[in-house]
Amino acid sequence: MNHETIQAVANTVRCLTMDAIQKANSGHPGMPMGCAELGALLYGSILKYNPDEPLWINRDRFVLSAGHGSMFLYSLLHLAGFSITLDDIKNFRQLGSPCAGHPEYGLAPGIEMTTGPLGQGFATAVGMAIAETMLAARYNTREHTIFDYYTYVLAGDGCLQEGVASEAASLAGHLKLKKLIAFYDSNKITIDGSTTLAFTEDVALRFSAYGWNVFHANMYDTDDIERHIEIAKKESDKPTLIILKSIIGKGAPTLQGSHKTHGAPLGEDEIKKAKENMGIAPDTYFYRDPEALSYFEAYKLKLQEQYTTWKEKFTAWQKQNSELAEELALAQAGKPVKVPQWPLFKLDESIATRTASGKALLAAIDSWPNLVGGSADLTGPNATEIPGEPYSAENHAGRKIHFGVREFGMAAIANGLALSKILRPFCATFLVFSDYLRPALRLSALMKIPVIYVLTHDSVYLGEDGPTHQPIEHLSSLRAIPNLTVLRPADAEETVLAWELALAKTDGPTALILSRQNLPVLPKDDPNWKDTIKTGAYVIKNTPVEPEITILASGSEVSLALEATKKTKKQVRVVSVLSLETFLEQPEPIQTIILGKSAKLIACEAGHPMSWYVLTNTVLGIKRFGESGPGTKVAEHLGISVANLLALIESV
């Protein structure tokens, strides 16, 4: 790719960016204009992809971590032959356009993930790089290498200031992810002004300390950038950071280098002068250089030849490795390789749902070879131990990942694993620490990818660790996230069903909310409860006649509700609510069958009651932080007791 072609592509990116943002009267021109030459080099020479097969499993991944610069990505995808049209670009940031304000996964091929929340793209790219090593270890053979892609990420000053990038970079260095190459758009500008206002650290030294290769180059010296990429590929056993000195808004005659180009249109006059300086007629809108168009038209044929060669290799691999090929196909379909042998439990057996979850996880691991994951340094307490040597820099075949004390980074990395569309990740911590990982969980839900979150120590019953570790508002806050299924099982049997439901879900994440304390395996009056529970709730204790009262409870409070019904003469039905939001989505006739036609409703849960108010205002819950002490005593002190529930029953 010669310099003239690179410049033609870069000018096209700048023109499309300026005009799209000006037309929308909204957007961020600074980054796309400042990085246009890098984009030309990547999509015109470096990246391995096929626009006609955008989900090719061995494509290189490119993540625009600085997602506000979305026109950078849309312009290049358009030029490279992906399905983004010029009309789509003209409708930038408008309803229905795949060219959303920030890149959104699923809106258009070539958008590898949803970015915009700074730092998360960088962290998720670490997960993508881990995925490549895992897939290579599982499926490559001596004769055929079918997974050997690189993961590239473009990050800015904002990304590298966010803590999640540091968490992920630290782990990436430890794991020696040599096929991860990050570009740092070092323009030293943020929204408020120069980065010197708040960011004067030596990024190169920081990443060197993490165990990365660090190179310095000029954003506009593409020969030097390409040379560093080749060095990273041929001589490195570490991830690589290439720090590129750049000019934000490059090409804007009076505004380049200013924070004013970061997040606002340049204005008609500035755009016209910019085009004049590029030798383009100032009244030409959405200009595309003919040389850029012809280059990518020819380059697309070269990329297709590369893909065809790989496809032939893949077909030969399938013929010679039928079992591996079948396993890969099942993984892509989200199916197990064999029927899982789920654990069985005896009636009245006392077992914590986290422990039951650990047993279910072992059954799942045995049947889903693509199931991988781990804990944020809480493997024992989360009951997420799985057999075999853990994943490491030396053992890419390992399925257990030690994430370290990095909840946010862990969840973002899990997103990267899930985006492979082959691996199925789980990650684990205490429920209260879902606060740390919530932004990445939100992206799991926004992208509709099936990450499984194992969240244990689910209530004040965890006891002595006190209010810092006792979740109160967390169930309600998680239930508020669209596309997230929150499952809080009442006993070991429900826990197994929760794992089945989580593994069956392919269009969004699932959170398993699990107890630290032992709970009895409960008798269930609904003989078809394993099917009924898919509605989110089922009748665990029925009445011989139409109930006067129905108690809705989840988790450990189902046992408490059952105890309370033994002490009243009223006709009280108990409904175990595994997933409140799933139940609320059911048609009214189904809800009525489960709740009763005219029963008064009482809800009981050892957490904030707000999520139950859609069904009833009569809720036994907790509206304050907890206390340090033995779990049962803390719960009683906070009002979660048989006596208080019984008082509610008698009062309605």
Split into its structural domains, the chain has a count of 3
> Quick one: which of 33, 7, 9 has its CA closest to 20?
33
Q: Tell whether 54 and 145 lie within a shared domain.
A: yes
Q: Tell whether 491 and 636 lie within a shared domain.
A: no
**Residue 342 maps to a domain:** no
Q: Tell whether 403 and 470 lie within a shared domain.
A: yes
**Residue 321 maps to a domain:** no
Q: Tell whether 143 and 27 lie within a shared domain.
A: yes
DSSP assigned state of 179: T
Q: Tell whether 298 and 365 lie within a shared domain.
A: no
In a 13 Å sphere around the CA of 149, the CA atoms on its Cβ side amount to 28
**Residue 313 maps to a domain:** no
**Residue 491 maps to a domain:** yes
**Could you tell me the two tokens for 165?**
């990038």
Q: Give residue 562's identity as a one-letter amino acid code.
A: L
**SS3 letters across 554-574:** CCCHHHHHHHHHCCCCCCEEE
Burial call 330-368: b when 16+ CB within 10 Å, e when fewer: bbeebebeeebebbebeeeeebbbbbbbbbbbbbbbbbb
Q: Tell whether 106 and 155 lie within a shared domain.
A: yes
**Contact residues for 234 (Cβ-Cβ < 8 A; gap 6+):** none
Residue 614 CA from chain centroid, whole number: 29
- For residues 69 and 185, give the distance between their C-alpha atoms in angstroms, rounded to a whole number: 11
Q: Measured at the alpha carbon of residue 557, what is the angle toward residues 551 and 558, in degrees to the nearest 5?
A: 60
Q: What is the dihedral angle through the alpha carbons of 99, 104, 110, 112, rounded to the nearest 10 degrees?
A: 160
Q: What is the DSSP string of 136-157?
A: HHHH--SS-------EEEEEEH
DSSP assigned state of 201: S
**Residue 505 maps to a domain:** yes
Q: Give residue 514's identity as a one-letter amino acid code.
A: L
Angle between helices 163-175 and 120-139 (to 10 degrees): 20
Q: What are phi and psi of 541, to 5 degrees?
A: -135, 120
> Quick one: which of 287, 285, 337, 266 has its CA closest to 21?
266
> Quick one: which of 453, 448, 451 has its CA closest to 508?
448
Find the distance separating the first CA and the last CA of the chain, reported in whole Å. 78
Tokens 């694993």: give the residue.
417
Q: Give residue 18's identity as a one-letter amino acid code.
A: M
Domain holding 597, by residue range, is: 535-651
**Could you tell me the two tokens for 401?**
């990942």
**Residue 237 maps to a domain:** yes
DSSP assigned state of 43: I
**Residue 311 maps to a domain:** no
Question: Known catalytic residue: 407?
Answer: yes
Instruction: Quote the pLDDT of residue 236.
Output: 79
Q: Tell whether 507 and 555 lie within a shared domain.
A: no
Instruction: Quote the pLDDT of residue 7.
Output: 98
With a cut of 70, list the residues of the chain below it in pLDDT.
none
Instruction: Quote the pLDDT of residue 426.
Output: 98
- The residue among 485, 520, 555 that closes a domain is 520
**Could you tell me the two tokens for 242?**
């290439």
8 A C-beta contact, residue 512 and residue 520: no
Q: Tell whether 543 and 516 lie within a shared domain.
A: no
> Quick one: which of 334, 316, 420, 437 has its CA closest to 376?
437
Quote the radius of gyration of the chain (alpha carbons, Å). 27
8 A C-beta contact, residue 598 and residue 613: no
Q: Tell whether 272 and 401 lie within a shared domain.
A: no
Q: Tell whether 468 and 545 lie within a shared domain.
A: no
Q: Are strands 549-553 and 600-604 parallel, antiparallel or unpaired?
A: parallel
**Residue 283 maps to a domain:** yes
Neighbours of 48 (CB within 10 A): 16
Could you tell me where the beta strands, DSSP code E, fall in 363-423? 371-375, 400-402
Where residue 407 sits, what CATH number does that domain have? Answer: 3.40.50.970
Where residue 605 sits, what CATH number does that domain have? Answer: 3.40.50.920
Coil/strand/helix, residue 605: coil
Q: Which of 37, 104, 132, 407 is catalytic?
A: 407
Q: Tell whether 105 and 210 lie within a shared domain.
A: yes
- The residue among 464, 494, 520 that closes a domain is 520
Neighbours of 573 (CB within 10 A): 24
Q: Tell whether 403 and 509 lie within a shared domain.
A: yes
Tell me the helix, strand and coil percentages in the chain, rounded to 5.
45, 15, 40
Residues 558-580 have pLDDT tens digits of 999 999 999 999 999 999 999 99
- For residues 648 and 438, give the distance between their C-alpha atoms in angstroms, rounded to a whole number: 34
- The residue among 464, 486, 520 that closes a domain is 520
